[in-house]
Amino acid sequence: MKKILAEWKGYLMSGISYMLPVVIGGSLVVAVPKLIGLCFGITSFDAYKTGFWFYMGQIEAVGWIGVGLVNLVLAGYIAYSIGDKPALAAGFMGGSLASSSNMGFLGALVAGFAAGYTARWCHNKLHVGEKFESIMPLVVVPLLSTMVVAILMGVILKQPLTWINVSLVAWIKQMSTSGVSAITLAVIMGAMIGSDLGGPVNKAAWMAGNVLLAEKIYTPAMIVNVAIAGIPLGYAFATTFFKYRFSDELLDAGRSDWFMGFIGITEGAIPFTLVNPLKLIPINMIAGAAGSATTILLGAQAKIPPVGGVYGFVTITNGWAYLIGLIVCAAIIGVLAPLAVDFNQTQSEEQVTDDNEDDININFEA
């Protein structure tokens, strides 16, 4: 079972690694014209049909297209990691169907795994004569894998997955519009961002926040943006104020984390967390939860689609509360992480010296 789970994790992380450039590129292309517009008091380009602001709107629209490709790319490259190139077609189609039918992130996962395993089964079990080998990857495998995805996603699981996704969106919408529930949501989503730093739990929280942008619900996206930027900033702070606790390699990584935190990439915290995941994952989760909850408690509001990273405060009503949330998140990691772990030690040395970790090994590598 451990082997299967490790394989699934590897396939998922492979899909996410291909998805990240699409998401980051699309998000930044959305952010640049949005920030330019906000500098002139413009929150929407829809009313402009010609001129400079019209073209800014066109650029922003391209960015949203990139963000909209998330499920397609995720499903396609999960399928690719399992079944190689012949699985891509079915994976892309399943991911596109997941978006168009409101099956969301879960639908993309199902489509990717179904397409990939079907393609692998065809490669291993179906054999033809040497003269016909070329038609297998071009015709037979795409046909069968796409048919499986079409039946599974278009007939069998379409309604259940759509119901689950729609219900999840509605639940988050309800929580984000009430005071106490919004704080609870911030704690949950902030902790999820800090749990696996770009892994499936992190991406589930990120996807939940960004899916709601289409529903004009912006608070969840603001919540996750605080944790996403604050966690790598925390390790940047730690390497600045506790240099003696870090190896030269991690000091270099800490300098990079100033940039990672500024634009909002939680993966910048991975090299540090790998040193001792058992101690650092809880610290990351506490920091993410505390920073996001602080932002909500202090009255930050997202009335337009929020931009990630430190500079995202300009898109937030009471942007100062957003910045304080970032500082709280970063300060918790910046103080607790170097006190809990000596980053001059290797991961194996930490495990040998800690009796509580003798029987547990957590590895982030895909």
Which pLDDT tens digit goes with each residue over 267-301? 899 999 999 999 999 999 999 999 999 999 999 99
- Looking at the fold, whether 196 and 324 belong to one and the same domain comes out as yes
The answer on 46 and 8 residing in a single domain is yes
Same domain assignment for residues 53 and 7: yes
Range with the poorest average pLDDT among 215-224, 246-255, 293-302, 339-348: 339-348
Token pair, residue 173, equals 């919408």
- Higher local confidence (pLDDT), 143 or 211: 143
Instruction: Provide the residue range defining the domain that includes 236.
Output: 169-357
Give me the helices (H) in 264-309, please: 270-273, 277-297
Q: Do the domain assignments include residue 121?
A: yes
Give the end of a domain, one of 140, 163, 186.
163
Residue 326 has pLDDT above 90, yes or no: yes
- What is the chain's mean pLDDT, rounded? 85
DSSP secondary structure letter of residue 86: G
* Whether the predicted pLDDT of 64 surpasses 70: yes
Q: What is the pLDDT of residues 202-234, one digit of tens each?
A: 877 877 777 677 566 789 989 999 999 999 999
Question: What are 317's strand-pairing partners?
Answer: 301
Same-domain check for residues 279 and 309: yes
pLDDT at position 346 is 54
* Domain boundary residue, one of 163, 178, 207: 163
Q: Tell me how far apart the alpha carbons of residues 230 and 257 are, in angstroms, rounded to a whole number.
A: 10
Residue 292 falls inside a structural domain? yes
Nearest of 119, 113, 124, 154 to residue 140 by alpha carbon: 119
Low-confidence winner among 57-66, 111-120, 131-140 (lowest mean pLDDT):
131-140
Q: How confident is the model at residue 305 (pLDDT cuts 50, 70, 90)?
A: confident
Question: Are 138 and 188 contained in the same domain?
Answer: no
157 and 185 fall within a common domain? no
Domain-ending residue, one of 101, 134, 163: 163
Residue 118 burial (CB < 10 Å; 0-12/13-18/19+)? Answer: buried
**Alpha helix positions (H), 40-87:** 51-68, 70-83
User: Is residue 58 situated within a structural domain?
Assistant: yes
Quick one: 45 and 107 in the same domain? yes
pTM: 0.71
Residue 360 has pLDDT above 70, yes or no: no
Whole-number pLDDT of residue 288: 96
Shared domain for 139 and 259, answered yes or no, is: no
Residues 194 and 253 in one domain: yes
Residue 69 covered by a domain:
yes
- Assess whether pLDDT exceeds 70 at residue 353: no
Report the number of distinct structural domains present in the chain: 2
* Percent of the chain surpassing pLDDT 70: 92
271 belongs to a structural domain:
yes
Q: Is the pLDDT of residue 356 over 60?
A: no
Rounded distance, CA 58 to CA 216, Å? 20
Could you tell me if residue 275 is inside a domain?
yes
pLDDT at 2: 75
Whether 156 and 177 share a structural domain = no
Residues 345 and 219 in one domain: yes
- 130 and 15, same structural domain? yes
More confident residue, 3 or 356: 3
The pLDDT score that the predictor gives to residue 35 is 79
- Residue 365 domain-assigned? no
pLDDT value at position 12? 80
Classify residue 20: in a domain, yes or no.
yes
Mean pLDDT of 184-196: 92
